[in-house]
Structure 1
């Protein structure tokens, strides 16, 4: 019980700390509405679950032990963030596009979901953090794979709850943020944030 309480306290603090995932969800909420922001949040939090399962199965140990594996995923993640940032800087939106066809809506949701999922999965620091953080809360003799998965699932649920609060709060001023001038400024600012995270990830060391 002490381990569980300690883990919940630590993971809640981690979830509430603003980062790349928070910026991504807030930007989606302001620019595209709560439904697509929810898809982005689902992608982000599902990435945490995938990392937890991977760490439990040994991928986290590989990232921690292999400099080549860590650097490869790190540079892919940095390139992805850089691409998103430069795209927002060069081609910011002037309006929010709404489509009436169900196929287009599904593609839009899939795109938002993929952006959140890939943004999380291509950040090797999440895997390294999990492999150094989660073992502290695994009882002696317990299944590492099972406990890592359960803790990652808990992180996912807490993350979804926090993102719901963020998305719900942004709803009140979403109309103002959808103005063309404001949307362009926000896209460019978000692009700068993404580029900053890309640089931070590329320059990071274990």
Structure 2
């Protein structure tokens, strides 16, 4: 059975919006890159990517089956995901919200510890867990292909987007931080743009009828 391409595109847009929203992964990678260099940031990103793979496999082999086996599980996850997107939108729009480019001072760590810290940061990141456990299942439609294949396709799409965006951020962290320090209006514009996008997605998700 052929996996429909519409859902990966839609899920990819959601994943892009979420990866551009400040969270633990972004703050950690930026701080690490600025404090210890681009290579350290990219090594940490490797750990983050492994965390995404872990969540993807959990969703592919467990959560997706639960969604279609238990009555109302789909609606429960859909509404939970919508509520979390609204929370992310509020985090972006609330007064005095923290900019991800506010650097935290981090110690000089070995490559092994950098990788491990990236992994742990992502595994403990509620945004990553919510993305796979609540958002991913609703983009799966058994009538359009094998559920496991769709799960892997959607998860791989998200991982590719997240790794690409975060790698660009890690590499250019110092330049971006310096630019935004001189142009604070860009931070405000980014917060309002992402808050509006995520809020719109949340509303659409909440009112969407079950397929």
In the superposition, the TM-score normalised over structure 2's length comes to 0.55
Q: CA deviation at 1:22?
A: 0.4
Matches within 5 A, 1:50-65: 50-58=54-62
Is 1:150 equivalent to 2:153 in the alignment? yes
User: Displacement of 1:2 after TM fit?
Assistant: 2.8
8 Å Cα contact 2:8-2:153 kept in structure 1: no
Tell whether 2:29 aligns with 1:41: no
Residues 16 and 124 (structure 1 numbering): CA distance in 2 closer, same or farther, change over 3 Å? closer
Please tell me whether the aligned partners of residues 34 and 171 of structure 1 are also in contact (alpha carbons under 8 angstroms).
no
Q: CA RMSD in A?
A: 2.9
Q: CA deviation at 1:173?
A: 8.0
How many pairs does the alignment contain?
136
Q: What is the alpha-carbon distance in structure 1 between the residues aligned to residue 169 and residue 125 of structure 2?
A: 22
Matched residues in 2 for 1:124 and 1:57: separation?
Answer: 20
Q: 1:1-31 CA deviation, whole Å, 9 max, x = no partner?
A: 3323211211111111110100110011011
- The DSSP-based 3-state class of the residue aligned with 1:17 is coil
**Counterpart of 1:122?**
124
SS at match of 2:142: coil
Structure 1, unaligned stretches of length 5 or more?
A: 65-91, 98-106, 176-206
Aligned to 2:133: 131
Contact 1:42 1:113 in 2 (8 A): yes
Query: Equivalents in 2 of 1:59, 1:6: separation in Å?
Result: 20
| Equivalent residue, structure 2, for 1:162 | 165
Higher helix content, 1 or 2: 1
> How does the TM-score come out when normalised to structure 1?
0.56
Contact 2:45 2:118 in 1 (8 A): yes
Q: Secondary structure at the match of 1:52?
A: helix
**Residue of structure 2 in register with 1:140 after alignment:** 142
Matched, 1:110 2:112: yes
Is contact 2:23-2:127 (8 Å) kept?
A: no
